Structure 1
Amino acid sequence: MFSVSDSVLHTDPAARPRLVLASGSPRRRQLLSDLGLDYEIRLRDVDESFPDHLRRAEIAEYLAAHKAAAYAPDLAPGEVVLTADTIVCLDDDVLNKPADAAEAVAMLQRLQGRAHEVYTGVCLLAADGRQVVFADETRVHFRPLTTAEIEHYVRHYQPFDKAGSYGAQDWIGMVAITRLEGSYFNVMGLPVHRVWEELAGFGVV
């Protein structure tokens, strides 16, 4: 259980639904902690394939809801599970997590010098069946990068757990991202402004 001693929350903690984070992402964990939220982490393997007809935000929403459904049978009364999935889209191509260094370099070669979209889908599912699914979009602009810069990043930061082969909070974010249209935190993996609003609707905050 993670908690923040100086909570910004005003309701009685004992009366609030209990938040469960179903994600292994250290960035999502940190963002929720920075919001001053108490939460429990639960992890399980969930298939991340999706129907071929889905596009962009639909994919992110589908994956988030699909993950939440896997946790639904085990939710105790008063619990709310949060699941999320972040995808990187270049045109209509989805750039997933790279399998190895060569694929990471190839992805970044495609992204450099161009703009692309990052979508994070989020699902909040309560034990009583209430559910909210949404996605947030951020457009990210990369300056042109040299092969040496790309290889340096992949070699030293090994972004193999990141969609699109990069983390905005990493070295490459500092040297490559010239402009963002939308939420920076969405690119990190969680649109916290929207998450906060929706958690309020569940009584978590």
Structure 2
Amino acid sequence: MGELILARHGETEWSRVRRHTGLTDVPLTAHGEEQARALRGALKGRHVVRTLVSPAERARRTAELAGLSAAETDPGLWEWDYGGYEGITSAEIRKERPGWFLWDDGVIPGGAGHPGETVEQVGERADAVLARVGPPPADGDVVLVAHGHFLRVLTARWLGLEPALGRLFALGTGTLSALGTEHDRPVVSAWNVPAP
């Protein structure tokens, strides 16, 4: 049975300094490009039959450098819309909202183009992506190239968990994870594996 391979895009300047990067299209850093190139080797032994990628340049560039040239763009793979917290770090938010935690407390509305999303709305998008992808085919793997928080929510939904339980799955930039089945039940086969 094939697996659903999750590739988080390489490092950006905002991810490096831990700024919430939802819909802002920030390019990869030089290190992020190195991470993306390294994914090519990590994917080499896999039979990839389909690749879907977020419309964000950082995800599309990661797919390109990883050798996933036939990627289909899927708007459902965009990162969580952080609304008024776009471009701000958690530490900065906690100065005004002590104890704030994205997964529990959510975001505030932002300006034009950044209305913000609840974790449940991100979960609905993840469910729609999983429905479009369907179970991985027996003859190969399906790769999703996207973003940290979104892929964490998608993993929770793959496992039948509520979207907010994505908080349990830390995910670094330029990493691969694999979702599969065991005895016809969804499992995490590998998680947060950096490319060699």
The structure in which a higher percent of residues are strand is 1
Q: TM-score, normalised by structure 2?
A: 0.34
Greater RCO (Cα-Cα under 8 Å, separation 6 or more): 2
Larger Rg: 1
Q: TM-score, normalised by structure 1?
A: 0.33
